[in-house]
Chains A and B, each alone.
Chain A
Amino acid sequence: MTNFQKIKYSFKSLINSNLGQYIISILIISITAFLCSPLANTNNYHVVSFILLFVVSFLSTFMGIRPVLLASTLSALAWNFFFIPPHLTFHIEKTEDILIFGLFFIIALLNGVLTTRVRRQEKIAIEREKRTNALFQLTKELSKTSGIIEVVDVSQKEIKKNFDVNPIIILQDGNEKLVLPESEKLKLINYETAQWSFSNTEKAGANTEHFATNNYTYFPLFGSKIKSGIIAINNYNKISGDKISFWDTFVVQISNALEREILIEMAQKVRFLDESDRLYKTLFNSISHELRIPVATIMGASDSIINSENSKEVQMALCNEIFTASLRLNRLIENLLNISRLESGYLSIRLDWHDINDLINKVLNELEYELKDYTIKVNIPDEMPLIKIDFGIMEQVLYNLIYNSSQYAPPGSIIQINTLFNNNKFIIEVLDNGPGFKEADLKNVFKKFFRADGSKTGGLGLGLSIVKGFVEAHNGNIIVKNNIEGGVKFALTIPSEIPEIENI
């Protein structure tokens, strides 16, 4: 600290202390009177009264009312004693001087009182504005938050800034019980008092009527519908006078913000539960149906083979039914496993170079039985390069697409598979000349559990949503549209590069 700063600082502290203000008043009036002393024996002693009045007005701009009153009285007496003839007595000769003295005294008093009053009003106005600003700031910050944790953080920060106390916000667990988070600071919290304040929606703890022996004071946070928790602060005595109502407004604002967030969270939970409940029901209904049908077929057919005298042809037909049912069961399991792989996020794609011929052959072989009544056309250009894919995953994609066509296009239809390589992307199209989808259904085709009217046998409506998920896992996309000449066209595009092959 420089000397100048020291002086400035000590002067400031002098002005701010009560005693200091009295001393300054006396000093300044004495100095002024002394400086005016050359005018004492002249006829200009009236001028001195103006100078003194000016000094009193000046003092009243930065001092309390009592020191100003002292200064006014002192200046009136000093003027009378030293300047009004006869000098060095309080006696006044001329009547007009008595009048002037009286007026001087009143003006000095009024002056001092009014100025300090204006100053006090101004101070209140500034304080009020500060609070309005602080509240505005709080509301603004709170409205920006999303989520309970953010509201708590913002609230604690704003309280610290405006009240110079350490706030701790404790929330309830949903069963009207406060939950103390694990934190060092929270060891200072008296749980009973906090819970009492929360349950009775009344402040408690230090400087209140209840549990006054606490170090902390606890304020319940409650909105119009729900109680969210409490705020605990360590120095409630710092908040006094008209600051109390400011504090109360703060608490109300925070309560409302918390209530809003809790209500939003509750609504989300309800929505989520509804959604998962709906999914669960759909899944449960369709799975039990999808499982029962093939199981019933297997039971019925095998029972008939075991217990009835059938011709060889009938037995073969029954065995065929059993075989078909088992294929269907197997597909169901495969799709359920695939959808859970997709949904769980455990799907990992292992890219490697593959021949698209291999992919298509493999799938057509697997679907041989299902496709026996269809004409299959495959178009692969001669210059088709190797593609980089996860073979197993793409096998499922193509399997589901072609199987889907066989389900929606009637037997005898043509199913066509085209491949194309263009711009570091390969395209696989699966077309059929069946009836196509209804326009309204097209946008739902890839949705889980969606089943268009007119599909042949059961199915969960998972196949195409798996296709989409798997294609997207390859960073590709898939579109579906109805062909102008009839039937459906699926086209998937997946980025791939051309492999580097030199002198092998």
Chain B
Amino acid sequence: MKEKETILIIDDETQIQRLLEITLSASGYKIIHAQNGQDGLVAAATNNPSLILLDLGLPDIDGQNLLIKLRDWFKNPIIVLSVRNTEIEIIKALDNGANDYLTKPFRTGELLARIRVVLRANSIIDNDSTLSFGDLCIDLLNHTVKLKNEIVKLTATEFSLLSLLAKNSGRVLTHQYILKEVWGYGYSEHSQYLRVFVAQLRKKIEENPSKPKLIITESGIGYRFGE
């Protein structure tokens, strides 16, 4: 087994800290705590953790600002854990560089799954030319997609949408971001295009398009590519 991955928890609620420590240690992670934003910054700099779990309601500094400060230099994934559950707050956190967002109360199973996904996604090397997710295989160089070894015919837009999602697998991409990346700046308000294309893509690559497993909807926020 490889070296234990370190997770930094920045949260001032001791009960949440204890719960996270118990669950995450049991899953084989090494845990570091920080009670406030300042300590969090220092701990992140000295330990360079593989992942940060960040609470937004910190006593000394607003979590969103801390997120921006961290993202100046911290390259590893950050997952926000917060009681703030409005779409605006979540989108803001994602725009500020969070890889994922979980609202409290959360299920620990869900948290562990998200942690695994972002850690794995982070280890995918950028110049990999093929991405595989179960039966789905995406060849980024040749612009081909195979499902169970059969070629899936995709339009150019469908392919760029799928490859964008797949390259960021595990990470929530906001509607705005996807629209900007796939269609360009002028289309950021046309969410209906995105919906239609996602529905088309699902019909082509999902086993059961009405219960998607690959392109997962994050309500009011965006999409996440899972497996």
Contact = CB atoms under 8 A, between A and B. Distances in A.
B157 A504 contact: yes
B220 A392 contact: yes
Given A361-B212, A380-B210, A355 B219 contact: no
A422 interface: no
Contact of B195 (A350, A361, A380, A386): A386
A358 interface: yes
A104 B211 CA distance: 122
Given A378-B210, A380-B210, A504-B157, A354 B87 contact: no
B6 interface: no
A361 B210 contact: yes
Contact of A386 (B157, B183, B196, B219): B196
A355 B105 contact: no
A170 B206 CA distance: 77
B199 A355 contact: yes
Interface in A315-368: 326, 330, 350, 352-355, 357-359, 361-362
Contact of A501 (B86, B157, B196, B209): B196
Interface in B170-227: 175, 183, 191-193, 195-199, 209-212, 217, 219-220
Contacts of A355: 195, 198-199, 217
Contacts of A386: 192, 195-196
B220 A352 contact: yes
Contacts of B211: 361
B192 A499 contact: yes
Nearest to B157: A504
B220 A391 contact: yes
Contacts of B157: 504
A395 interface: yes
A352 B193 CA distance: 12
Interface string A392-403: 100100000000
Nearest to A369: B107
B87 A392 contact: yes
Contacts of B191: 352-353
Contacts, number: 53
- Categorize the interface residue count of chain B: 20 to 34
Interface residues of A, number: 23
A354 to B, nearest CB: 7
A362 B211 CA distance: 10
Contacts of A500: 192
A354 B199 CA distance: 10
Contacts of B86: 392
Nearest to A355: B195
Contacts of A361: 210-212, 217
> Which of A357, A358, A378 gathers the greatest number of chain B CB atoms within 10 Å?
A358
A395 B219 contact: yes
Contact of B217 (A350, A362, A378, A380): A362
B78 to A, nearest CB: 23
Given A326-B105, A391-B220, A395-B219, A357 B210 contact: yes
A474 to B, nearest CB: 14
Contacts of A326: 105
A325 B212 CA distance: 30
A117 to B, nearest CB: 87
A358 B220 contact: no
B193 A330 contact: no
A393 to B, nearest CB: 9
A501 B192 contact: yes
Nearest to B189: A352
A41 to B, nearest CB: 116
A68 B67 CA distance: 105
A380 B209 CA distance: 12
Contacts of A499: 192, 195-196
Given A330-B105, A350-B87, A504-B157, A358 B192 contact: no
Interface in B98-151: 105
B217 A358 contact: yes
Contacts of B198: 355
> Which of B87, B183, B195, B196 gathers the greatest number of chain A CB atoms within 10 Å?
B195
Nearest to B187: A504
Q: Please provide the 9 A-B residue pairs with the shortest distance between their CB atoms, ordered closest to farther.
A: A499-B192, A353-B192, A358-B217, A391-B220, A391-B219, A504-B193, A353-B191, A386-B195, A392-B220
Interface of A: 326, 330, 350, 352-355, 357-359, 361-362, 378, 380, 386, 390-392, 395, 499-501, 504
27 contacts: A330-B105, A350-B220, A352-B175, A352-B191, A353-B191, A353-B192, A353-B195, A355-B198, A355-B217, A358-B217, A361-B210, A362-B217, A362-B219, A378-B210, A386-B192, A386-B195, A390-B220, A391-B87, A391-B219, A392-B86, A392-B87, A392-B220, A395-B219, A499-B195, A501-B192, A504-B157, A504-B193
Given A362-B217, A395-B219, 4 more contacts: A352-B175, A357-B210, A500-B192, A504-B193
